[in-house]
Amino acid sequence: MAKETEQVSLPFLNLGLFIFLELGYIPAWIQGQSMMAWGGAIVPWVLRYGIRMIKLKKDQINVIGLAVSMAIAAQTHNLTVAMLILALTPAFIVAFVKSNEKKKLFRDVIFSVIIFLFLSANIIGALLVLKTNNIAMPVPIDLKGIALNITPNLVQRNHITPLMLIVLIITAGLAIINFNKNKLNFWLGLGGASFFFLSTKAFPWGITERLLPFLKTSFQSPSRLTVIAYPLLLVSLSISLSSIAKRKNLRNIILKWGITGLAVIASISALFDFQAYLHSNTLAYLDNNVVVLYSWVYKVPKSRTIIREDMMSRNQGKLFQDLANSEPDYLPITKKIDSGQIVNIYGQKVVKNTDNFVRKVNKDGSLSLIWKQKKPEKNYCQ
């Protein structure tokens, strides 16, 4: 993504990359194997096509490249695609206004969209099934509570340290102040700052979730917007530092080393903070009084050490016999149920009655569900 700008020197490219690997959802894969981490890793690859549009290259739209990269993102994480569309739309508008070949630009985008829809037909079909059937949605989340928060000594997907925040503010400031000198960097800095603002508690998410309650079960976490904000801001940082480094006067030398030093200290601090965070999670795992860190557990054994023994057991099904989660995300239901009640209903109707049913996998791969009942009447499997 940074190379696409053709304005970044190698040392500052590596600095931006180092910070990128420490922030937001990328390290979340280590923490909890979040698929948003894979989406976040694909985002810079796709955003480079937005940079290509703004730069007004001869072939502004790489039809196949854009379609394939978006399709891979769709196969990996649906929500990432929605955010990428939000990010690429302003780039297309800027390119369309500035372009002298508007018809070609519009035609290439249409071709790219058609190819993307063809490559993502299985995902689109699944989403249509989801929307046209009674499906249990994920547990509703308080959007304001999961928005990005400023927290000393904690770098996590929902948190950012004050020092790293200062680096990002300086980055956006440099891009906006030097609007006339570098239009591309301006759009990167402005776009990154906008998505970053939307991801924080500064945005009125409390009002937003009251007006659009479906966001609590579909979008869930405003901090997810950082998968767009961080790449844009870090590329902008690399461009600004590369530009400053070319000017050899005392003011720019001080500015270069000052910002670079601050960014290095912030990134090293973030690295140690995240290691400390992982260490605390390990200690929690070894604590006999702790079951899990992030989950809605309905059934759990009295002796917590059993869970740890199950996780190391050769009998891979033992854990699911002793521990039952109650997050029925996307399971079929017979009628519309409020998402806030779905966890308790699933626990009472399914988890609690699990011993009353016999489940078998047949030789042909089909599934059998067997139970006893006193009267011959219809029963719905929920």
pLDDT of residue 346: 79
pLDDT of residue 100: 82
pLDDT of residue 206: 87
What SS3 state is found at 97?
Answer: helix
Distance CA 187, CA 172 (A): 10
pLDDT of residue 52: 85
Per-residue pLDDT reduced to its tens digit, 350-382: 777 777 777 777 888 888 878 777 776 666 555
pLDDT at 114 over 90: yes
DSSP 159: E
Amino acid at 254: I
Residue 128, classified by CB atoms within 10 Å of its CB into exposed (0-12), middle (13-18) or buried (19+), is exposed
Give the DSSP letter string of 192-254.
HHHHHHHHBTTS-HHHHHHH-TTHHHHT--GGGGHHHHHHHHHHHHHHHHHHHHH--SHHHHH
> Which pair of structure tokens corresponds to residue 143?
């959007």
pLDDT of residue 193: 94
Per-residue pLDDT reduced to its tens digit, 200-236: 988 998 898 889 888 887 888 888 899 999 999 999 9
Per-residue pLDDT reduced to its tens digit, 263-286: 999 888 888 888 887 788 778 777
User: At 33, is the pLDDT very low, low, confident or very high (cuts 50, 70, 90)?
Assistant: low
Angle at which helices 250-286 and 162-177 cross, to 10°: 150
